[in-house]
Amino acid sequence: MTQKQRLVIIGNGMAGARFAEEVLARHGSALFDLVIFGDEPYGNYNRVLLSSVLSGTHDPKDIFINPLNWYEENGIKLHAGIRANSIDRQAKVVSAGGVVEPYDKLVIATGSSPFVPPLENLSDEAGGLKQGIFVFRTLNDCTQMIKYSDSTRKAVVVGGGLLGLEAARGLLNRGLEVHVVHLRSHPMDMQLDPPAGTILKKMLERMGVHFHLAKQTSRVLGNDHVTGLAFEEGSTVDCDMVVISAGIRPNVGLAKQAGLTVERGIVVNDDLSCSGDPAVSAIGECAQHRGRVYGLVAPVWEQAQVLAERLACRNSQAVYRGSQVATRLKVMGVELTVMGEKEPDRESDEVVTYAEPSRGIYKKLIVRNGYLAGAILLGDGLTAPHLLQVFDRGEVLPENRADLLFPLAGGSKALNVADLPDTAQICNCNGVSKGKIISAVRAGHRSLESVCDATRAGTGCGSCKPRVQALLELASDSLVVNDPPYRVPVHG
């Protein structure tokens, strides 16, 4: 009998824990003894749902994907709340204080950390953040923010990206007066062009958010605790609480210490091994592949699947060639789908737009040589599934571009789920495929709530629930026709 190898994973977040799940799904426990180091003192949870915890729509216990008992039940040795501090590649060991774990294969999934700009008067005497100032990255951050907000009147979020707006939504739901300070001229400038960003800003202002755009924060006001912020041009805003959401930086310190190749992230090859050491791999937000570092969930799932296929199935044909960035989000309840490029970069690119600012609707296509190079859909959830399918498959576009922007008017189905392959991802937040949802329905889950509980689909931002419902109806109809034991009674 072949002796098991030791597979050590550094990081118990959405990349590391998902990779462990993928290994177990491929019966990798027969090949490997799994060991995981996790910074936080509990199991893996869905970071996408932290904003829902902050807003009070989810209880913290509801966002856990893998509670502590899951690791024990699956034979995984978890070092919870223990940060790995060194890798010895010669001896093939990972050290964390008094804990030393040897490895045959090592996977680094250390994720990223919030970027905290060097503001004047930011720190307290102990070197930590001044009282009333928070970053928004972990469950502990979220818990501390909730506790502090109970005695707070006015909060300022520094950063108008996706996470910053989600923090603003959470604090707004808790009854605070919320201001958002952003360096650029419109929110979510990484995903949206100026017209879309302007429409989104007006929609969020109607919900109660105050914006301070094109502002460079320079100084924190207050002695023992924060009382406001000062901006570079001289103006100020008073507040009792500050949330910093100014972007993230890959956690690469451990990889640097180990002598691995690091640029912006840990450089990996198409097999996701680190440059120069086939025994070490990296996935998730800390990894840099072909010059790109991904900050969305879907690419993390793809990397976890590929690496698990290589290690657990010994499949040398499994390679990661990069991800097409396409995702559906809910920004403070507003439907948003973005994919590919947001601006044309070739003279021959065709740009098709439609806007209804009063209704919060903005649609934009970038067409290149007859194919979809990018799109923005703001305030329109019905058009998104078909457009994502066209983008993912690289389909030739119809001559009448309006058929894409207005599928119902063109006679096509808005939710074209029947035509999607089983591998198509329905839920971006939790990486749930069409095939997994269909299997859940066939296994006896016959309501939307039951399917979502069984698969985790729809338990993130919730924007995928219409597609989950459509698949539920599709699979149920199929069971009525083809599987008599599961016939669903029809009431007239």
Task: Kindly state which CATH superfamily the domain 326-406 is placed in.
Answer: FAD/NAD-linked reductase, C-terminal dimerisation domain (3.30.390.30)
**Which residues lie closer than 8 Å to 63 by C-beta, 6 or more apart?**
45, 46, 49, 50, 52, 53, 139
CATH of domain 425-481: 1.10.10.1100
Compute the distance between CA of residue 284 and CA of residue 294 in angstroms, rounded to an integer: 7
Q: Give span(s): CATH 1.10.10.1100, the chain.
A: 425-481
Query: Into which CATH architecture does domain 133-246 fall?
Result: 3-Layer(bba) Sandwich (3.50)
pLDDT at 2: 67
* pLDDT per position as a tens digit, 373-395: 999 999 988 788 788 888 988 99
| pTM, rounded to two decimals | 0.89
CB-based contact 456:427 (threshold 8 Å): yes
3-state secondary structure 319-334: CCCCCCCEEEEEECCE
Please list the residue range(s) of the chain that carry CATH number 3.50.50.60: 5-113+249-312, 133-246
Fold topology of 5-113+249-312:
FAD/NAD(P)-binding domain (3.50.50)
Mutual angle of helices 448-455 and 465-482, in 10-degree steps: 110
* CB count in 10 Å sphere of residue 69: 9
d(CA 115, CA 247): 5
Q: CA 242, 167, 160: angle at the middle one, nearest 5?
A: 80
Give CA–CA dist 237/281, Å, rounded. 46
The boundaries of every CATH 3.30.390.30 domain in the chain are 326-406
Query: What is the pLDDT, as a whole number, of residue 460?
Result: 67
pLDDT beneath 50: ranges in the chain:
410-415, 481-492
Token digits of residue 372: 């979809």
Q: What is the pLDDT of residue 276?
A: 84
End-to-end CA distance of the chain: 62
Compute the distance between CA of residue 448 and CA of residue 141 in angstroms, rounded to an integer: 32
pLDDT of the residue at 330: 74
